[in-house]
Structure 1
Amino acid sequence: MKRAFAVAAVLAAPLVLGVLATGSAGAAQPRIYHTIGATSASAVVATTQGCELTEVFLSSSTAMYAGQPGPVGKQGLTAVFVRVTDSCAASGARVAPAAGGGGGPVVFQADVQNGAPLVVDPRLTRASVTTDLTGTDGDGNPVTVHLTASWTGSGPLEHTTDSTHVHFADGNVSSTANDLRRAASAQVAVEVAGRSATGTDPSAVLEQARSHCIEVPRPGVEGFFPCFGFPA
Protein backbone atom coordinates (compact mmCIF):
# COMPACT_ATOMS: atom_id res chain seq x y z
CA MET A 1 0.00 0.00 0.00
CA LYS A 2 2.93 2.32 0.69
CA ARG A 3 4.12 2.55 -2.84
CA ALA A 4 0.68 2.01 -4.43
CA PHE A 5 -0.64 5.21 -2.89
CA ALA A 6 2.40 7.27 -3.68
CA VAL A 7 2.66 6.03 -7.24
CA ALA A 8 -1.07 6.51 -7.85
CA ALA A 9 -0.89 10.04 -6.44
CA VAL A 10 2.12 10.91 -8.63
CA LEU A 11 0.56 9.39 -11.96
CA ALA A 12 -2.56 11.46 -11.44
CA ALA A 13 -0.64 14.41 -12.90
CA PRO A 14 -1.72 15.04 -16.53
CA LEU A 15 1.63 14.58 -18.22
CA VAL A 16 0.37 13.78 -21.71
CA LEU A 17 2.32 16.27 -23.49
CA GLY A 18 2.99 18.56 -26.41
CA VAL A 19 2.23 17.12 -29.84
CA LEU A 20 4.18 17.76 -33.01
CA ALA A 21 2.61 17.21 -36.43
CA THR A 22 4.95 17.27 -39.42
CA GLY A 23 5.00 16.10 -42.99
CA SER A 24 3.82 17.20 -46.39
CA ALA A 25 0.20 17.57 -47.41
CA GLY A 26 -1.46 14.22 -47.98
CA ALA A 27 1.26 12.28 -46.17
CA ALA A 28 0.82 10.58 -42.81
CA GLN A 29 1.83 13.01 -40.09
CA PRO A 30 3.76 11.76 -37.06
CA ARG A 31 2.40 12.75 -33.66
CA ILE A 32 5.12 13.15 -31.03
CA TYR A 33 4.50 13.23 -27.27
CA HIS A 34 7.62 14.37 -25.43
CA THR A 35 8.47 14.40 -21.72
CA ILE A 36 11.58 16.54 -21.25
CA GLY A 37 11.75 15.42 -17.65
CA ALA A 38 9.35 14.24 -14.95
CA THR A 39 10.73 13.77 -11.44
CA SER A 40 8.79 12.33 -8.52
CA ALA A 41 9.31 11.54 -4.85
CA SER A 42 7.22 9.50 -2.45
CA ALA A 43 7.18 8.66 1.25
CA VAL A 44 5.02 7.10 3.96
CA VAL A 45 5.40 7.80 7.67
CA ALA A 46 3.49 6.64 10.75
CA THR A 47 3.58 8.01 14.30
CA THR A 48 1.76 7.07 17.50
CA GLN A 49 0.57 9.20 20.38
CA GLY A 50 -1.37 7.39 23.07
CA CYS A 51 -3.93 5.23 21.30
CA GLU A 52 -3.84 7.23 18.07
CA LEU A 53 -1.87 6.16 15.03
CA THR A 54 -1.30 8.86 12.40
CA GLU A 55 -0.30 7.73 8.89
CA VAL A 56 0.86 10.13 6.19
CA PHE A 57 1.08 9.10 2.52
CA LEU A 58 2.91 11.65 0.38
CA SER A 59 3.84 12.07 -3.27
CA SER A 60 5.27 15.09 -5.06
CA SER A 61 6.43 15.69 -8.63
CA THR A 62 7.62 18.24 -11.13
CA ALA A 63 7.58 17.93 -14.92
CA MET A 64 8.67 19.71 -18.09
CA TYR A 65 7.19 18.89 -21.49
CA ALA A 66 6.88 20.31 -24.98
CA GLY A 67 6.17 19.66 -28.61
CA GLN A 68 9.03 20.02 -31.08
CA PRO A 69 9.13 22.90 -31.84
CA GLY A 70 6.98 24.56 -29.21
CA PRO A 71 7.01 26.25 -25.82
CA VAL A 72 8.13 24.33 -22.75
CA GLY A 73 5.38 23.63 -20.23
CA LYS A 74 6.01 23.10 -16.53
CA GLN A 75 3.76 21.35 -14.04
CA GLY A 76 3.91 20.37 -10.38
CA LEU A 77 1.70 18.13 -8.25
CA THR A 78 1.82 17.34 -4.54
CA ALA A 79 -0.67 15.01 -2.85
CA VAL A 80 -1.07 14.10 0.83
CA PHE A 81 -3.38 11.61 2.53
CA VAL A 82 -3.56 11.77 6.33
CA ARG A 83 -5.36 9.08 8.35
CA VAL A 84 -5.72 8.87 12.14
CA THR A 85 -7.00 5.66 13.76
CA ASP A 86 -7.76 4.87 17.41
CA SER A 87 -6.69 1.43 18.59
CA CYS A 88 -8.38 1.86 21.99
CA ALA A 89 -11.82 2.89 20.77
CA ALA A 90 -13.17 -0.66 20.58
CA SER A 91 -12.40 -1.39 24.24
CA GLY A 92 -13.19 2.09 25.48
CA ALA A 93 -9.78 2.32 27.16
CA ARG A 94 -7.13 4.86 26.24
CA VAL A 95 -4.16 3.51 28.14
CA ALA A 96 -1.85 1.97 25.53
CA PRO A 97 -0.25 3.17 22.31
CA ALA A 98 -1.71 1.99 19.04
CA ALA A 99 -0.02 -1.10 17.66
CA GLY A 100 0.33 -2.50 14.16
CA GLY A 101 -0.98 -0.87 11.00
CA GLY A 102 -4.00 1.12 12.12
CA GLY A 103 -6.54 -1.57 12.91
CA GLY A 104 -8.79 0.75 14.95
CA PRO A 105 -11.60 2.96 13.68
CA VAL A 106 -10.75 6.08 11.71
CA VAL A 107 -11.18 9.25 13.79
CA PHE A 108 -9.83 11.68 11.18
CA GLN A 109 -8.72 11.63 7.56
CA ALA A 110 -8.01 14.13 4.81
CA ASP A 111 -7.01 13.69 1.17
CA VAL A 112 -5.62 16.87 -0.43
CA GLN A 113 -3.48 17.94 -3.37
CA ASN A 114 -2.25 21.07 -5.12
CA GLY A 115 0.12 22.19 -7.86
CA ALA A 116 3.20 22.72 -5.67
CA PRO A 117 6.25 21.37 -7.54
CA LEU A 118 8.94 19.15 -6.10
CA VAL A 119 12.32 20.92 -5.81
CA VAL A 120 15.02 18.41 -6.76
CA ASP A 121 18.59 18.37 -8.07
CA PRO A 122 19.36 16.63 -11.40
CA ARG A 123 21.27 13.73 -9.78
CA LEU A 124 18.46 12.92 -7.34
CA THR A 125 20.67 13.45 -4.29
CA ARG A 126 18.16 15.67 -2.50
CA ALA A 127 14.62 17.02 -2.89
CA SER A 128 12.08 19.00 -0.90
CA VAL A 129 8.58 20.47 -0.87
CA THR A 130 6.90 22.88 1.55
CA THR A 131 3.31 23.90 0.95
CA ASP A 132 -0.18 24.40 2.37
CA LEU A 133 -2.77 22.11 0.79
CA THR A 134 -6.47 22.93 1.14
CA GLY A 135 -9.30 20.44 0.86
CA THR A 136 -11.85 18.63 3.01
CA ASP A 137 -11.67 16.00 5.71
CA GLY A 138 -13.62 12.75 5.76
CA ASP A 139 -16.70 14.58 7.08
CA GLY A 140 -16.60 17.22 4.37
CA ASN A 141 -15.23 19.99 6.57
CA PRO A 142 -12.64 22.36 5.03
CA VAL A 143 -9.08 21.72 6.18
CA THR A 144 -5.59 22.96 5.42
CA VAL A 145 -2.64 20.58 5.60
CA HIS A 146 0.71 22.26 6.21
CA LEU A 147 3.45 20.04 4.76
CA THR A 148 7.21 20.14 5.06
CA ALA A 149 9.15 17.26 3.50
CA SER A 150 12.69 16.56 2.36
CA TRP A 151 14.45 13.60 0.75
CA THR A 152 18.12 12.66 0.91
CA GLY A 153 19.50 10.09 -1.53
CA SER A 154 20.77 7.00 0.28
CA GLY A 155 21.55 4.55 -2.52
CA PRO A 156 23.31 4.39 -5.89
CA LEU A 157 21.85 6.14 -8.91
CA GLU A 158 20.13 3.47 -11.03
CA HIS A 159 19.87 4.11 -14.78
CA THR A 160 17.57 2.18 -17.13
CA THR A 161 16.68 2.68 -20.78
CA ASP A 162 14.07 1.15 -23.03
CA SER A 163 13.14 1.45 -26.69
CA THR A 164 10.29 -0.11 -28.67
CA HIS A 165 9.27 -0.04 -32.33
CA VAL A 166 6.00 -1.75 -33.30
CA HIS A 167 4.33 -2.04 -36.70
CA PHE A 168 0.53 -2.28 -36.78
CA ALA A 169 -1.83 -2.66 -39.70
CA ASP A 170 -2.99 0.94 -39.12
CA GLY A 171 0.44 2.49 -38.58
CA ASN A 172 3.68 2.46 -36.64
CA VAL A 173 4.62 3.47 -33.11
CA SER A 174 8.01 4.07 -31.50
CA SER A 175 8.84 4.96 -27.91
CA THR A 176 11.91 5.49 -25.79
CA ALA A 177 12.48 5.86 -22.04
CA ASN A 178 15.55 7.05 -20.17
CA ASP A 179 14.95 6.72 -16.41
CA LEU A 180 16.87 7.39 -13.20
CA ARG A 181 16.06 6.08 -9.73
CA ARG A 182 17.67 6.48 -6.31
CA ALA A 183 16.64 5.07 -2.94
CA ALA A 184 16.24 7.83 -0.37
CA SER A 185 15.39 8.68 3.21
CA ALA A 186 12.52 11.12 3.74
CA GLN A 187 11.71 13.47 6.62
CA VAL A 188 8.01 14.42 6.68
CA ALA A 189 6.06 16.79 8.94
CA VAL A 190 2.36 17.67 8.66
CA GLU A 191 -0.03 19.84 10.65
CA VAL A 192 -3.80 19.67 10.15
CA ALA A 193 -6.89 20.39 12.26
CA GLY A 194 -4.93 20.80 15.47
CA ARG A 195 -2.99 17.59 14.91
CA SER A 196 0.65 17.16 13.95
CA ALA A 197 2.84 14.28 12.89
CA THR A 198 6.54 14.03 12.12
CA GLY A 199 8.36 10.96 10.93
CA THR A 200 11.04 9.38 8.77
CA ASP A 201 10.69 6.96 5.86
CA PRO A 202 14.03 5.18 5.32
CA SER A 203 12.69 3.36 2.24
CA ALA A 204 11.52 6.37 0.22
CA VAL A 205 12.44 6.82 -3.43
CA LEU A 206 13.34 9.51 -5.98
CA GLU A 207 12.67 8.87 -9.68
CA GLN A 208 13.15 10.76 -12.95
CA ALA A 209 11.72 9.89 -16.38
CA ARG A 210 12.63 11.25 -19.81
CA SER A 211 10.66 9.77 -22.67
CA HIS A 212 8.81 10.22 -25.91
CA CYS A 213 6.28 8.34 -28.00
CA ILE A 214 5.78 8.73 -31.77
CA GLU A 215 2.72 7.42 -33.61
CA VAL A 216 2.49 7.45 -37.42
CA PRO A 217 -0.88 6.40 -38.87
CA ARG A 218 -1.03 5.07 -42.40
CA PRO A 219 -2.61 7.44 -44.95
CA GLY A 220 -6.38 7.55 -44.58
CA VAL A 221 -6.39 5.85 -41.16
CA GLU A 222 -8.33 7.56 -38.35
CA GLY A 223 -8.48 6.70 -34.67
CA PHE A 224 -4.89 5.39 -34.44
CA PHE A 225 -3.67 6.52 -31.02
CA PRO A 226 -1.34 3.85 -29.55
CA CYS A 227 0.44 6.54 -27.50
CA PHE A 228 -2.79 7.30 -25.60
CA GLY A 229 -2.02 7.48 -21.90
CA PHE A 230 1.67 8.28 -22.46
CA PRO A 231 3.80 8.19 -20.41
CA ALA A 232 2.97 4.62 -19.40
Structure 2
Amino acid sequence: MFTGLIQATGKLKPFEQDRFMVLIAETAHSIILSDLAIGDSVAVDGVCLTVEEILLDGFIATASPETLSRTTLEKRLESAESVNVETSLRVGSKIGGHFVTGHVDGVGSLLESFSTETSWEMIFTAPSTLTEEWEKFIARYIVSKGSIAVNGISLTVADCDQYGNWFKVSVIPHTYQETNLSSLKTGDWVNLEGDILGKYVEKLIRSPSHSEDVSLGFLAEHGYL
Protein backbone atom coordinates (compact mmCIF):
# COMPACT_ATOMS: atom_id res chain seq x y z
CA MET A 1 0.00 0.00 0.00
CA PHE A 2 1.22 3.49 -0.89
CA THR A 3 0.06 7.09 -0.49
CA GLY A 4 0.92 8.56 -3.90
CA LEU A 5 3.47 10.98 -2.42
CA ILE A 6 6.58 10.48 -4.55
CA GLN A 7 9.90 10.29 -2.68
CA ALA A 8 12.34 10.17 -5.59
CA THR A 9 12.81 9.68 -9.29
CA GLY A 10 14.98 7.07 -10.97
CA LYS A 11 15.76 5.24 -14.20
CA LEU A 12 15.08 1.71 -15.39
CA LYS A 13 17.87 -0.35 -16.90
CA PRO A 14 17.51 -3.88 -18.36
CA PHE A 15 19.28 -6.58 -16.36
CA GLU A 16 18.39 -10.08 -17.53
CA GLN A 17 15.28 -11.58 -19.16
CA ASP A 18 12.29 -9.99 -17.37
CA ARG A 19 14.40 -8.48 -14.57
CA PHE A 20 15.60 -4.90 -14.51
CA MET A 21 17.43 -2.43 -12.31
CA VAL A 22 15.71 0.56 -10.76
CA LEU A 23 18.47 3.15 -10.32
CA ILE A 24 17.63 5.88 -7.83
CA ALA A 25 18.67 9.50 -8.35
CA GLU A 26 21.82 10.11 -6.28
CA THR A 27 20.22 12.89 -4.23
CA ALA A 28 17.58 10.43 -2.96
CA HIS A 29 19.75 7.40 -2.10
CA SER A 30 19.32 7.94 1.64
CA ILE A 31 15.55 8.34 1.32
CA ILE A 32 14.90 5.14 -0.62
CA LEU A 33 17.84 2.87 0.18
CA SER A 34 18.58 3.56 3.86
CA ASP A 35 16.23 0.88 5.21
CA LEU A 36 15.22 -0.95 2.04
CA ALA A 37 15.08 -4.74 2.45
CA ILE A 38 14.70 -7.70 0.12
CA GLY A 39 11.00 -8.48 -0.26
CA ASP A 40 9.88 -4.89 0.26
CA SER A 41 7.28 -3.39 -2.05
CA VAL A 42 8.18 -0.27 -4.02
CA ALA A 43 5.92 1.65 -6.40
CA VAL A 44 7.70 2.49 -9.67
CA ASP A 45 5.60 4.88 -11.76
CA GLY A 46 2.65 3.57 -9.79
CA VAL A 47 3.41 -0.13 -10.36
CA CYS A 48 3.98 -2.21 -7.23
CA LEU A 49 7.24 -4.16 -7.57
CA THR A 50 9.07 -6.47 -5.14
CA VAL A 51 12.70 -5.82 -4.26
CA GLU A 52 14.73 -8.93 -5.17
CA GLU A 53 18.27 -7.60 -4.83
CA ILE A 54 19.64 -4.38 -3.37
CA LEU A 55 22.34 -2.40 -5.17
CA LEU A 56 24.50 0.51 -4.04
CA ASP A 57 22.41 2.85 -6.18
CA GLY A 58 19.07 1.05 -6.47
CA PHE A 59 17.51 -2.39 -6.59
CA ILE A 60 16.55 -5.23 -8.93
CA ALA A 61 12.94 -6.27 -9.57
CA THR A 62 10.95 -8.46 -11.94
CA ALA A 63 7.91 -7.51 -13.99
CA SER A 64 5.75 -10.19 -15.56
CA PRO A 65 4.81 -10.00 -19.26
CA GLU A 66 1.27 -9.11 -18.11
CA THR A 67 2.56 -6.15 -16.10
CA LEU A 68 4.74 -4.93 -18.95
CA SER A 69 1.85 -5.16 -21.43
CA ARG A 70 -0.60 -3.26 -19.21
CA THR A 71 1.69 -0.46 -17.97
CA THR A 72 4.29 1.95 -19.30
CA LEU A 73 7.26 0.16 -17.70
CA GLU A 74 8.42 -1.43 -20.95
CA LYS A 75 8.37 1.98 -22.65
CA ARG A 76 10.39 3.45 -19.76
CA LEU A 77 12.93 0.63 -20.16
CA GLU A 78 13.34 1.39 -23.84
CA SER A 79 13.49 5.18 -23.54
CA ALA A 80 15.48 5.61 -20.30
CA GLU A 81 12.95 8.24 -19.20
CA SER A 82 12.64 8.93 -15.48
CA VAL A 83 10.22 7.04 -13.23
CA ASN A 84 8.59 8.03 -9.95
CA VAL A 85 9.54 5.99 -6.88
CA GLU A 86 7.76 5.54 -3.54
CA THR A 87 8.42 2.97 -0.82
CA SER A 88 5.48 1.27 0.86
CA LEU A 89 3.44 2.83 3.63
CA ARG A 90 4.56 1.96 7.15
CA VAL A 91 2.23 1.58 10.13
CA GLY A 92 2.02 4.93 11.88
CA SER A 93 3.18 6.92 8.85
CA LYS A 94 1.39 10.08 7.77
CA ILE A 95 -1.09 9.64 4.92
CA GLY A 96 -0.92 12.83 2.92
CA GLY A 97 -2.28 11.57 -0.40
CA HIS A 98 -4.77 8.70 -0.71
CA PHE A 99 -4.53 4.92 -0.52
CA VAL A 100 -2.75 3.70 -3.68
CA THR A 101 -2.41 -0.07 -4.19
CA GLY A 102 0.15 -0.09 -6.97
CA HIS A 103 -2.17 -2.12 -9.21
CA VAL A 104 -2.51 -0.10 -12.40
CA ASP A 105 -6.01 -0.06 -13.92
CA GLY A 106 -5.07 1.27 -17.32
CA VAL A 107 -2.84 3.50 -19.43
CA GLY A 108 -3.92 7.00 -20.42
CA SER A 109 -2.14 9.81 -22.26
CA LEU A 110 -1.44 13.50 -21.84
CA LEU A 111 -3.74 15.68 -23.93
CA GLU A 112 -2.63 19.11 -22.81
CA SER A 113 -0.44 20.81 -20.22
CA PHE A 114 -0.16 24.50 -19.43
CA SER A 115 1.01 26.67 -16.55
CA THR A 116 -1.03 29.17 -14.55
CA GLU A 117 0.04 31.63 -11.87
CA THR A 118 -0.20 28.99 -9.14
CA SER A 119 -0.06 25.55 -10.76
CA TRP A 120 0.19 23.38 -13.84
CA GLU A 121 -3.09 22.34 -15.43
CA MET A 122 -2.84 18.90 -17.06
CA ILE A 123 -5.51 17.06 -19.04
CA PHE A 124 -5.32 13.30 -19.57
CA THR A 125 -7.31 10.69 -21.45
CA ALA A 126 -8.51 7.57 -19.66
CA PRO A 127 -9.33 4.13 -21.15
CA SER A 128 -13.07 3.79 -21.62
CA THR A 129 -15.62 2.14 -23.88
CA LEU A 130 -19.37 1.83 -24.00
CA THR A 131 -19.25 -1.84 -25.03
CA GLU A 132 -20.09 -4.75 -22.75
CA GLU A 133 -16.38 -4.85 -21.80
CA TRP A 134 -16.75 -1.44 -20.13
CA GLU A 135 -16.06 -2.96 -16.70
CA LYS A 136 -12.41 -3.50 -17.68
CA PHE A 137 -11.69 0.22 -17.94
CA ILE A 138 -10.83 2.90 -15.42
CA ALA A 139 -13.01 5.77 -16.67
CA ARG A 140 -15.95 4.76 -14.48
CA TYR A 141 -13.90 5.47 -11.33
CA ILE A 142 -13.05 9.05 -12.34
CA VAL A 143 -15.27 11.68 -10.72
CA SER A 144 -14.84 15.39 -10.14
CA LYS A 145 -13.03 16.06 -6.83
CA GLY A 146 -12.17 12.37 -6.55
CA SER A 147 -8.69 10.91 -6.24
CA ILE A 148 -6.58 9.38 -9.00
CA ALA A 149 -2.99 8.16 -9.22
CA VAL A 150 -1.07 9.26 -12.33
CA ASN A 151 2.31 7.52 -12.62
CA GLY A 152 1.88 6.78 -8.93
CA ILE A 153 1.22 10.42 -7.97
CA SER A 154 -1.83 11.12 -5.82
CA LEU A 155 -3.86 13.85 -7.54
CA THR A 156 -7.34 15.32 -7.24
CA VAL A 157 -9.60 15.38 -10.28
CA ALA A 158 -10.45 19.03 -10.93
CA ASP A 159 -12.80 18.30 -13.83
CA CYS A 160 -13.86 15.46 -16.13
CA ASP A 161 -16.60 14.57 -18.58
CA GLN A 162 -19.57 12.48 -17.43
CA TYR A 163 -17.99 9.24 -18.62
CA GLY A 164 -14.49 9.93 -17.30
CA ASN A 165 -13.01 9.71 -20.81
CA TRP A 166 -10.81 12.69 -19.94
CA PHE A 167 -9.93 14.44 -16.71
CA LYS A 168 -8.05 17.53 -15.59
CA VAL A 169 -5.78 17.92 -12.57
CA SER A 170 -4.07 20.95 -11.04
CA VAL A 171 -0.49 20.18 -10.06
CA ILE A 172 1.38 22.39 -7.60
CA PRO A 173 4.91 23.48 -8.65
CA HIS A 174 6.65 21.22 -6.08
CA THR A 175 4.93 18.07 -7.36
CA TYR A 176 5.46 19.09 -10.97
CA GLN A 177 9.18 19.70 -10.50
CA GLU A 178 9.94 16.71 -8.25
CA THR A 179 8.21 14.05 -10.40
CA ASN A 180 8.29 12.98 -14.03
CA LEU A 181 5.18 15.04 -14.80
CA SER A 182 7.52 17.84 -15.81
CA SER A 183 9.04 15.71 -18.58
CA LEU A 184 5.73 14.62 -20.14
CA LYS A 185 4.93 15.72 -23.66
CA THR A 186 1.57 15.70 -25.42
CA GLY A 187 0.70 12.12 -26.34
CA ASP A 188 2.96 10.52 -23.71
CA TRP A 189 1.49 7.52 -21.91
CA VAL A 190 0.90 7.39 -18.15
CA ASN A 191 -0.17 4.71 -15.67
CA LEU A 192 -3.56 5.30 -14.05
CA GLU A 193 -5.05 3.81 -10.90
CA GLY A 194 -8.54 4.70 -9.70
CA ASP A 195 -9.48 5.25 -6.07
CA ILE A 196 -9.96 1.89 -4.33
CA LEU A 197 -12.96 3.28 -2.44
CA GLY A 198 -14.87 3.61 -5.71
CA LYS A 199 -14.14 -0.04 -6.51
CA TYR A 200 -15.60 -1.20 -3.21
CA VAL A 201 -18.72 0.91 -3.73
CA GLU A 202 -19.13 -0.58 -7.22
CA LYS A 203 -18.73 -4.09 -5.80
CA LEU A 204 -21.49 -3.47 -3.28
CA ILE A 205 -23.83 -2.04 -5.90
CA ARG A 206 -23.31 -4.98 -8.28
CA SER A 207 -23.45 -7.71 -5.65
CA PRO A 208 -26.77 -9.62 -5.84
CA SER A 209 -26.87 -9.96 -2.06
CA HIS A 210 -26.69 -6.19 -1.59
CA SER A 211 -28.54 -4.93 -4.65
CA GLU A 212 -31.67 -4.15 -2.65
CA ASP A 213 -29.80 -2.40 0.14
CA VAL A 214 -27.19 -0.38 -1.76
CA SER A 215 -28.21 1.44 -4.93
CA LEU A 216 -27.37 4.69 -6.68
CA GLY A 217 -30.45 6.20 -5.05
CA PHE A 218 -29.30 5.03 -1.62
CA LEU A 219 -25.83 6.51 -2.13
CA ALA A 220 -27.25 9.81 -3.40
CA GLU A 221 -29.58 10.01 -0.40
CA HIS A 222 -26.65 9.62 1.97
CA GLY A 223 -24.40 12.13 0.26
CA TYR A 224 -22.12 9.86 -1.76
CA LEU A 225 -23.17 11.09 -5.23
Which range, TM-score by smaller chain? under 0.3
Report the structure, 1 or 2, having the larger strand content: 1
TM-score scaled to structure 2, two decimals? 0.23
When Rg is computed on C-alpha atoms for both structures, the one with the higher figure is 1
Report the structure, 1 or 2, having the larger helix content: 2
